[in-house]
Amino acid sequence: MLKQERADYVRKRLEELYPETPIPLDHTDPYTLLVAVLLSAQCTDKRVNLVTPALFALADNPADMATQKPLTVEKIIKPCGLSPRKSRAIVELSNILINEHDGQVPKSFEALEALPGVGHKTASVVMSQAFGVPAFPVDTHIHRLAQRWGLTKGRNVVQTEADLKKLFPRESWNKLHLQIIFYGREFCTARGCDGLVCEICTGCYPSRRTAPVIHSP
């Protein structure tokens, strides 16, 4: 298969497997989604969903969160890891939202990425899932699968994101990003598949006999 043929095959199969793509992080609005995505860095969505009910019971909007002490937030989110840094970022970004954005989550990549603790991937998730703006958030898991499927040779998530955007229609990005995550968790895990086991890996490369070299971002 050529690269575009592999991309078309991947998209078709993922659409068959995951016609519905519920957002895996529990939230009620753009602000709670932003906080949940920030917490998910180096943490599973499942664990984040266990932590956020207590956090949002304390404060589920910028005005209430801005009045909290980072240590109070840190104690609640400790199971998510990196809690000192994440707690400071949550309180600080809440203050910025109040002071600079009328208490609303901004609807631009530039403004989102200017917030403490918010990188391009987090901003992309919020823009796509909260506001419906086409984006293709790439984390280490999508980066790994894209390499296994021969869709990129990127050595970092920035290059992988650019390559995937060229291969897939813009209108498919938001859904496809979630479909790849779902498939990776179910069939193409870091240890459960080395590029030689799952349906899509073998479908993209039916003659592959050795595991591909994966460039870690």
Q: Which pLDDT score is estimated for 216?
A: 77
CATH code, domain with 61:
1.10.340.30
Regarding whether 161 and 194 lie in a shared domain, the answer is yes
Number of domains in the chain: 2
Regarding whether 143 and 122 lie in a shared domain, the answer is no
Range of the domain at 193: 3-21+136-204
Backbone conformation region of residue 117, classed left if phi is above 0, alpha if psi is from -120 to 50, else beta: left
The ranges of the chain with pLDDT < 50 are none
CA distance 211 to 194: 6
CA distance 116 to 75: 19
Regarding whether 145 and 191 lie in a shared domain, the answer is yes
Cβ(146)–Cβ(164) below 8 Å: yes
Nearest 10 degrees: CA dihedral of 138, 188, 131, 8? 90
Regarding whether 143 and 112 lie in a shared domain, the answer is no
Regarding whether 121 and 152 lie in a shared domain, the answer is no
CA distance 36 to 125: 11
The torsion angles phi and psi of 20, rounded to 5 degrees, stand at -115, 140
Per-residue model confidence as pLDDT tens digits over 91-102: 999 999 999 999
Q: Which residues are catalytic?
A: 121, 139
Q: Which pLDDT score is estimated for 162?
A: 97
Regarding whether 122 and 38 lie in a shared domain, the answer is yes
